[in-house]
């Protein structure tokens, strides 16, 4: 709350501006506004909300959507919307299991990250932690996918096997190569071994997204206008969603796995966990870039899609 307050005042943002249903609480035309928005929707405290809290949030948002006004403060409305967005899938409306929500990515993911940072792990140990980490990532990708077009479960199971196999293969391959260079000084081998988790995890995380959500490109995803009305199904938007999410996941492990390896050799008794910033689930796309059948259905210059998290 202190960080949010200071940044809000520094940029001149109101802590709780006039409520706008379905819109970000902070302006998205600056880094600070995007940071505050992302920080808001991955608030770990939402993991402890009760069923009654969820019901109250849905009731408030339902009354607002029906046209009622003056029954709640802006703060209450923004908190209700944050709780809904962080807990329930935007396409299916189903509640996401806490460990697979973006708000739970760090609170539940620190276990596998700790395993990846173990000092001088054996090949078997490294492969185990890569498997555990990519299994968690695969479930997060599945829980936060674009579900506007149904996909068979068999496709996701095959994608999971491919993603985990890729992670383990990269880790094993890098370890194998390192052991072949026995003539290198022990200090150099040690440095390489400590940094192996970073390229392995970044590559595997990217492949994980491509495997788990690649089918969306074939089927397309829903695109909708600013009012939430579905205009059509677009493969172009699906490609953009997959590209942006994949790039985000490639860089997501960097602060978690790189910075500790630079700091810990000097501060072996100091442990630090860094919180990544995730990308927003809703993405804009110029209507001119979409397929002809979609452009023919709307006069809007910009449409939106759920690109997942």
Does any domain span residue 296? no
173 domain residue, yes or no: yes
User: Residues 143, 101: contact at Cβ < 8 Å?
Assistant: yes
Please state the domain count of the chain.
Answer: 2
d(CA 91, CA 149) in angstroms, rounded, equals 9
- pLDDT (tens, 9 = 90+) of the chain, 309 residues, equals 555 555 555 567 788 899 999 888 888 777 778 778 888 888 999 999 999 999 999 999 999 999 999 999 999 999 999 999 999 998 889 999 999 998 898 888 888 878 877 777 777 887 888 888 878 888 888 888 888 877 788 878 887 888 778 777 877 777 677 667 666 676 666 666 666 666 766 777 777 778 777 778 888 888 888 777 888 888 898 888 888 888 877 776 666 555 555 555 544 444 333 334 444 567 788 888 888 888 888 888 888 777 665
What is the domain range of residue 56? 2-87
Q: Return the closest-CA partner of residue 134 out of 165, 110, 111, 107.
A: 165
Tell me: do 37 and 180 sit in the same domain.
Answer: no
Whether 120 is in a domain gets the answer: yes
- Decide: 211 and 163 in contact? Cβ < 8 Å: yes
User: Is residue 117 in some structural domain?
Assistant: yes
Residue 266: count of CB within 10 angstroms of its CB: 7
Residue 133 within a domain? yes
- Do residues 133 and 201 lie in contact, with contact meaning Cβ atoms separated by under 8 Å? yes
In a domain, 289, yes or no: no
Whole-model pTM?
Answer: 0.68
Residue 134 lies in a domain: yes
Tell me whether residue 138 is in a domain: yes
Same domain, 202 and 130: yes
Do both 61 and 109 map to the same domain?
no
């Amino acid at each position: 709350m202190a960080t949010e307050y200071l940044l809000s005042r520094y940029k001149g943002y109101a802590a709780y501006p006039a409520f706008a249903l379905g819109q970000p609480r902070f302006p998205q035309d600056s880094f600070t506004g995007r940071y505050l928005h992302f920080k808001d929707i991955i608030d770990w405290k939402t993991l402890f909300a009760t069923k009654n809290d969820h019901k109250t949030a849905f009731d408030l948002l339902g009354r607002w959507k029906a046209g009622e006004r003056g029954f709640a403060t802006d703060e209450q409305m923004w908190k209700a919307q944050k709780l809904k967005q962080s807990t329930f899938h935007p396409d299916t409306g189903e509640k996401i299991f806490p460990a697979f929500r973006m708000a739970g990515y760090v609170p539940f993911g620190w276990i596998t990250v700790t395993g990846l940072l173990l000092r001088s792990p054996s090949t078997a140990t490294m492969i185990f932690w890569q498997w555990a980490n990519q299994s968690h990532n695969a479930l997060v990708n599945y829980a936060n996918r674009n579900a506007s077009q149904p996909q068979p479960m068999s496709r996701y199971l095959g994608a999971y096997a491919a993603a985990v196999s890729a992670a383990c293969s990269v880790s094993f391959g890098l370890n194998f190569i390192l052991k072949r260079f026995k003539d290198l000084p022990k200090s150099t081998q040690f440095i390489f071994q400590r940094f192996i988790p970073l390229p392995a995890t970044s590559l595997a995380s990217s492949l994980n997204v491509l495997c788990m959500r690649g089918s969306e490109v074939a089927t397309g995803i829903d695109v909708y206008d600013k009012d939430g009305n579905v205009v059509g199904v677009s493969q172009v938007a699906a490609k953009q969603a997959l590209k942006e999410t994949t790039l985000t996941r490639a860089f997501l492990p960097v602060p978690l796995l790189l910075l500790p390896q630079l700091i810990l050799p000097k501060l072996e008794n100091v442990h630090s966990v860094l919180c990544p910033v995730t990308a927003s689930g809703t993405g804009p796309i110029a209507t001119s870039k979409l397929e002809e059948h979609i452009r023919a259905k709307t006069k809007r210059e910009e449409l939106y899609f759920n690109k997942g998290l």
